[in-house]
Amino acid sequence: MKHSQGGFTLIEMVVVLVILAMTMLLVLPRLPDTSGAALKRSARTLASTMRYVRDQVTVTRLVHRLRFLPGEGKITITTLPPGGTETSSQDPFLNRQILVDGVTVSDIEIPRLGKVSSGELIIDIGPAGVADITLIHLKGAEGRQMTVTAFPYGGQVKVEEGYREISQ
Protein backbone atom coordinates (compact mmCIF):
# COMPACT_ATOMS: atom_id res chain seq x y z
CA MET A 1 0.00 0.00 0.00
CA LYS A 2 1.18 3.40 -0.94
CA HIS A 3 0.37 6.50 1.07
CA SER A 4 0.48 9.46 -1.19
CA GLN A 5 -0.22 12.53 0.79
CA GLY A 6 0.25 15.83 -0.95
CA GLY A 7 1.50 18.80 1.02
CA PHE A 8 4.51 20.36 2.64
CA THR A 9 6.38 19.26 5.70
CA LEU A 10 6.74 21.55 8.67
CA ILE A 11 10.43 22.07 7.95
CA GLU A 12 9.71 23.15 4.37
CA MET A 13 7.16 25.69 5.59
CA VAL A 14 9.56 27.08 8.21
CA VAL A 15 12.33 27.45 5.61
CA VAL A 16 9.97 29.39 3.31
CA LEU A 17 8.89 31.68 6.18
CA VAL A 18 12.52 32.37 7.13
CA ILE A 19 13.36 33.26 3.52
CA LEU A 20 10.33 35.59 3.33
CA ALA A 21 11.28 37.26 6.63
CA MET A 22 14.87 37.84 5.48
CA THR A 23 13.64 39.30 2.19
CA MET A 24 11.32 41.68 4.06
CA LEU A 25 14.21 42.80 6.29
CA LEU A 26 16.18 43.74 3.19
CA VAL A 27 13.35 45.34 1.20
CA LEU A 28 11.34 47.33 3.78
CA PRO A 29 14.08 49.78 4.81
CA ARG A 30 14.63 50.65 1.15
CA LEU A 31 11.01 51.51 0.42
CA PRO A 32 10.47 55.25 -0.05
CA ASP A 33 9.27 57.22 2.95
CA THR A 34 6.16 59.29 2.78
CA SER A 35 6.90 62.93 3.58
CA GLY A 36 4.67 62.74 6.66
CA ALA A 37 6.79 59.94 8.08
CA ALA A 38 9.98 61.77 7.11
CA LEU A 39 8.78 64.94 8.86
CA LYS A 40 7.81 63.05 12.00
CA ARG A 41 11.10 61.15 12.04
CA SER A 42 13.06 64.41 11.57
CA ALA A 43 11.19 66.10 14.44
CA ARG A 44 11.79 63.16 16.76
CA THR A 45 15.45 62.96 15.75
CA LEU A 46 15.92 66.68 16.42
CA ALA A 47 14.24 66.37 19.83
CA SER A 48 16.33 63.34 20.84
CA THR A 49 19.50 65.07 19.59
CA MET A 50 18.72 68.13 21.72
CA ARG A 51 18.18 65.90 24.77
CA TYR A 52 21.43 64.07 24.03
CA VAL A 53 23.33 67.36 23.68
CA ARG A 54 21.97 68.47 27.07
CA ASP A 55 23.21 65.20 28.58
CA GLN A 56 26.62 65.64 26.93
CA VAL A 57 26.90 69.17 28.34
CA THR A 58 26.24 67.77 31.81
CA VAL A 59 28.93 65.09 31.40
CA THR A 60 31.63 67.07 29.56
CA ARG A 61 30.96 70.52 31.06
CA LEU A 62 31.35 72.01 27.57
CA VAL A 63 28.73 74.32 26.07
CA HIS A 64 27.37 72.99 22.78
CA ARG A 65 25.96 75.12 19.98
CA LEU A 66 23.22 74.24 17.53
CA ARG A 67 23.57 76.19 14.29
CA PHE A 68 20.37 76.53 12.27
CA LEU A 69 19.90 77.94 8.79
CA PRO A 70 16.14 78.59 8.55
CA GLY A 71 14.84 77.73 5.09
CA GLU A 72 17.33 74.88 4.77
CA GLY A 73 17.53 71.35 6.08
CA LYS A 74 20.95 71.56 7.72
CA ILE A 75 21.67 71.73 11.44
CA THR A 76 25.24 71.55 12.74
CA ILE A 77 26.42 71.03 16.29
CA THR A 78 29.69 72.38 17.69
CA THR A 79 31.35 72.53 21.11
CA LEU A 80 32.62 75.66 22.80
CA PRO A 81 35.34 75.10 25.41
CA PRO A 82 35.73 77.84 28.04
CA GLY A 83 37.90 80.59 26.58
CA GLY A 84 38.55 78.48 23.50
CA THR A 85 37.49 78.43 19.90
CA GLU A 86 34.44 76.67 18.60
CA THR A 87 35.15 73.19 17.21
CA SER A 88 33.07 70.53 15.52
CA SER A 89 31.95 67.75 17.81
CA GLN A 90 33.96 64.52 17.93
CA ASP A 91 30.80 62.55 18.74
CA PRO A 92 29.58 60.64 15.66
CA PHE A 93 25.98 60.86 16.92
CA LEU A 94 26.17 64.66 16.72
CA ASN A 95 27.83 64.73 13.29
CA ARG A 96 25.08 62.84 11.48
CA GLN A 97 22.33 64.36 9.36
CA ILE A 98 19.47 65.31 11.68
CA LEU A 99 16.77 66.27 9.16
CA VAL A 100 15.69 63.94 6.37
CA ASP A 101 16.01 65.27 2.81
CA GLY A 102 12.93 67.33 1.96
CA VAL A 103 12.42 68.54 5.55
CA THR A 104 13.48 72.11 6.34
CA VAL A 105 13.53 74.47 9.31
CA SER A 106 10.86 77.02 8.36
CA ASP A 107 11.60 79.35 11.30
CA ILE A 108 12.65 79.46 14.93
CA GLU A 109 10.82 81.43 17.60
CA ILE A 110 12.52 82.68 20.76
CA PRO A 111 10.86 85.33 22.98
CA ARG A 112 13.85 87.72 23.02
CA LEU A 113 14.41 87.48 19.24
CA GLY A 114 10.93 86.82 17.89
CA LYS A 115 10.62 84.69 14.76
CA VAL A 116 13.82 84.14 12.82
CA SER A 117 13.21 82.83 9.30
CA SER A 118 16.45 83.75 7.52
CA GLY A 119 20.16 83.95 8.18
CA GLU A 120 21.95 81.83 10.73
CA LEU A 121 20.68 81.29 14.27
CA ILE A 122 22.91 79.87 16.99
CA ILE A 123 21.37 78.32 20.08
CA ASP A 124 23.69 77.61 23.01
CA ILE A 125 22.91 74.64 25.21
CA GLY A 126 24.55 74.87 28.60
CA PRO A 127 24.21 72.92 31.86
CA ALA A 128 20.69 74.34 32.37
CA GLY A 129 19.63 73.56 28.79
CA VAL A 130 18.53 76.37 26.47
CA ALA A 131 18.35 79.90 27.92
CA ASP A 132 14.82 80.67 26.63
CA ILE A 133 11.88 78.62 25.49
CA THR A 134 12.64 77.78 21.87
CA LEU A 135 10.18 76.70 19.18
CA ILE A 136 11.67 75.14 16.06
CA HIS A 137 9.20 74.83 13.20
CA LEU A 138 9.88 72.06 10.68
CA LYS A 139 8.21 71.85 7.29
CA GLY A 140 7.85 68.72 5.16
CA ALA A 141 7.79 68.40 1.39
CA GLU A 142 3.97 68.36 1.30
CA GLY A 143 3.70 71.52 3.43
CA ARG A 144 2.86 69.73 6.69
CA GLN A 145 4.49 71.24 9.77
CA MET A 146 5.67 70.09 13.17
CA THR A 147 6.97 72.05 16.14
CA VAL A 148 9.86 71.01 18.38
CA THR A 149 9.75 72.94 21.67
CA ALA A 150 12.80 73.11 23.97
CA PHE A 151 12.11 74.32 27.50
CA PRO A 152 14.75 76.10 29.63
CA TYR A 153 16.06 74.69 32.89
CA GLY A 154 15.70 70.97 32.76
CA GLY A 155 16.25 70.02 29.16
CA GLN A 156 12.68 68.95 28.37
CA VAL A 157 12.00 68.81 24.62
CA LYS A 158 8.52 68.23 23.19
CA VAL A 159 7.36 67.37 19.65
CA GLU A 160 3.91 68.52 18.46
CA GLU A 161 1.97 68.24 15.21
CA GLY A 162 1.29 71.50 13.40
CA TYR A 163 2.64 75.02 13.76
CA ARG A 164 2.64 76.12 17.41
CA GLU A 165 3.51 79.60 18.67
CA ILE A 166 4.61 80.96 22.01
CA SER A 167 1.46 81.95 23.88
CA GLN A 168 1.57 85.46 25.29
In which band, very low, low, confident or very high, does the pLDDT at 32 lie, cut at 50, 70 and 90?
A: low
H or E, element range at 110: strand 104-110
Q: Distance from first CA to last CA of the chain, Å, rounded?
A: 89
Residue 61 belongs to some domain of the structure: yes
**Number of residues that make up the chain:** 168
Q: Is residue 28 part of a domain?
A: no
Number of domains in the chain: 1
* Residue 21 domain-assigned (yes or no): no
Residues 6+ apart with CB under 8 A from 164: 135, 137, 147, 149
Residue 65 has pLDDT above 60, yes or no: yes
Q: Considering the domain boundaries, does residue 141 fall inside one?
A: yes
Arithmetic mean of pLDDT over the chain:
86
Give yes or no for a contact between 111 and 166, defined as CB atoms under 8 angstroms apart.
yes
Q: Does some domain include residue 9? A: no
Q: What is the pLDDT of residue 18?
A: 95
Quick check: 60 pLDDT over 80? yes
- Phi, psi for 63 (deg, rounded to 5): -65, 135
CATH of residue 104:
3.55.40.10
What is the per-residue pLDDT for 86?
83
Q: Confirm whether 15 is domain-assigned.
A: no
Work out the average pLDDT over 99-116: 89
Residue 2: its pLDDT value, please? Answer: 62
Which residues span the domain enclosing 69? Answer: 34-161
Residue 6 to residue 22: CA distance in whole angstroms: 27
In a domain, 69, yes or no: yes
Instruction: Give the pLDDT band (50/70/90) at residue 96.
Output: confident
Question: 63: part of which helix (H) or strand (E)?
Answer: strand 63-68
Residue 26 lies in a domain: no
